[in-house]
């Protein structure tokens, strides 16, 4: 499965579900209406507060459809010039890059977005913007991996870890983006050798999501896993004792601190090409980079702000580590290498 793949049966059900949801949206909103039509592939209940705060602040009502990114891609494309959608939000720079390549986004001019968001987290032509960030860290069993034994992503390909690594599918966009970053830094040949080495070290066939990998390490199924930082923070903050016990059994390694830094990715979005409420859409994106909204990304969903001046006051995030070095490559690299990354994953059998 690649980024574009959705089963025919899934498409049929998705189309039916989206059509029912879309009945709540106006076909074309008047420029005078204080409304924003949002298509979102973010599925975080904590975002509700962001949306309600935006409405309270601006008086602009949000009509929202949530679905998978592939379903929303197809919907926006099929609606064409008649689409009511103003903004598309999704997770991972690879998906944002694909939407831009498909011509879904409009280029906008927002000095505020350019000033608030570092250049590596947005596209220079103003089509999409990273609005929150996440680090892809290495999770290890405290009792089986000693401090310093693993310090880089490259270490995961070392044969000494044979049978000790758990990952989700190599074709998942989070994994493809990590591999894309390695392609950017080390070149295709070394990236493929790395991927082949990781596959040789797997404790089991890839399955589940990032939380499942953390649980597998805590359960002793493997010693090492890869996960986005916010998944561990969620377990740490959980009201369930079992979740907190899982978090207590593992430790975080911030990879590549002596060279390029930990791999970073973003959740973000852009104004759609046929947005009927363009000014409201720009205002929404600008709201999401205010100090208030950026702090809520951190406090509500355990993501990192993209605005560097915003201070995080989330104990769980702070306990993961401070002062770590982030990879500074532009998010565009994670998109432009996606196809090659998928080809490598296919060749090495990273199912």
Q: How far is CA 227 from CA 65, 232, 351, in A?
A: 27, 8, 17
Kindly report, residue by residue over 239-282, the tens digit of the pLDDT: 999 999 999 999 999 999 999 999 999 999 999 999 999 999 99
Q: Measure the N-to-C terminal CA separation of the chain; round to a whole number of Å.
A: 9
Kindly report, residue by residue over 154-212, the tens digit of the pLDDT: 999 999 999 999 999 999 999 999 999 999 999 999 999 999 999 999 999 999 999 99
HEC secondary structure over 142-188: CCCCCCCCCCCCHHHHCHHHCCCEECCCCCCHHHHHHHHHHHHHHCH
Class of the CATH-defined domain 8-133+265-320: alpha beta
Kindly report, residue by residue over 215-250, the tens digit of the pLDDT: 999 999 999 999 999 999 999 999 999 999 999 999
Residue 319 is given by DSSP the state H
How far, in Å, CA of 5 to CA of 228, rounded? Answer: 23
- Determine the distance from the C-alpha atom of residue 280 to the mean position of all C-alpha atoms in its chain, rounded to a whole number: 24
The secondary element (H helix, E strand) that includes residue 230 is helix 229-237
pLDDT-wise least confident of 16-20, 56-60, 95-99, 196-200: 16-20
Q: Do domains 8-133+265-320 and 134-262+334-348 have the same CATH topology?
A: yes
pLDDT-based confidence at residue 307 (cuts at 50, 70, 90): very high
pLDDT-based confidence at residue 335 (cuts at 50, 70, 90): very high
The secondary element (H helix, E strand) that includes residue 132 is strand 129-141
Q: Is the pTM of this model over 0.95?
A: no
**Domain residue ranges in the chain:** 8-133+265-320, 134-262+334-348
Nearest to 262 by CA among 325, 318, 210, 319: 325
Class of the CATH-defined domain 134-262+334-348: alpha beta
pLDDT-based confidence at residue 16 (cuts at 50, 70, 90): very low
pLDDT-wise least confident of 4-13, 84-93, 291-300: 4-13
Q: CA dihedral in degrees (9, 175, 170, 39; nearest 10)?
A: 0
pLDDT-based confidence at residue 47 (cuts at 50, 70, 90): confident
């Amino acid at each position: 499965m690649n980024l574009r793949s959705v089963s025919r049966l899934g498409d049929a059900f998705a189309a039916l579900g989206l059509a029912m949801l879309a009945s709540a949206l106006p076909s074309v909103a008047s420029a005078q209406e204080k409304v924003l039509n949002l298509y979102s592939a973010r599925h975080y209940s904590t975002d509700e507060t962001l949306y309600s705060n935006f409405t309270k602040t601006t008086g602009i009502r949000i009509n929202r459809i949530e679905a998978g990114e592939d379903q929303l891609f197809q919907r926006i494309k099929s609606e064409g010039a008649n689409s009511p959608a103003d903004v598309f939000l999704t997770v991972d720079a690879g998906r944002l890059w694909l939407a831009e390549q498909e011509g879904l986004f409009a280029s906008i001019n927002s000095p505020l977005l350019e000033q608030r968001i570092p250049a590596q987290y947005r596209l220079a032509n103003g089509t999409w913007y990273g609005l929150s960030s996440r680090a892809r860290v290495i999770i290890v069993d405290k009792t089986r991996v000693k401090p310093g034994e693993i310090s880089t992503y490259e270490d995961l390909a070392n044969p000494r870890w044979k049978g000790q690594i758990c990952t989700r599918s190599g074709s998942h966009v989070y994994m493809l983006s990590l591999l894309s970053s390695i392609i950017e830094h080390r070149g295709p040949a070394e990236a493929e050798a790395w991927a082949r080495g990781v596959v040789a070290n797997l404790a089991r066939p890839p399955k589940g999501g990032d939380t499942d990998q953390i649980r597998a390490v805590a359960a002793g199924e493997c010693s090492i896993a890869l996960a986005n930082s916010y998944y561990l923070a969620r377990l740490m903050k959980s009201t369930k004792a079992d979740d907190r016990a899982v978090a207590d059994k593992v430790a975080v390694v911030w990879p590549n601190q002596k060279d390029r830094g930990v791999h970073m990715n973003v959740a973000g979005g852009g104004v759609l090409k046929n947005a009927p409420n363009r000014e409201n859409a720009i205002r929404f994106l600008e709201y999401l980079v205010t100090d208030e909204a950026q702090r809520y990304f951190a406090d509500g969903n355990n993501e990192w702000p993209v605005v560097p001046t915003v201070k995080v006051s989330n104990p769980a995030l702070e306990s993961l580590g401070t002062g770590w070095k982030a990879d500074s490559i532009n998010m565009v690299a994670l998109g432009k290498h996606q196809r090659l990354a998928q080809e490598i994953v296919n060749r090495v059998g990273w199912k």
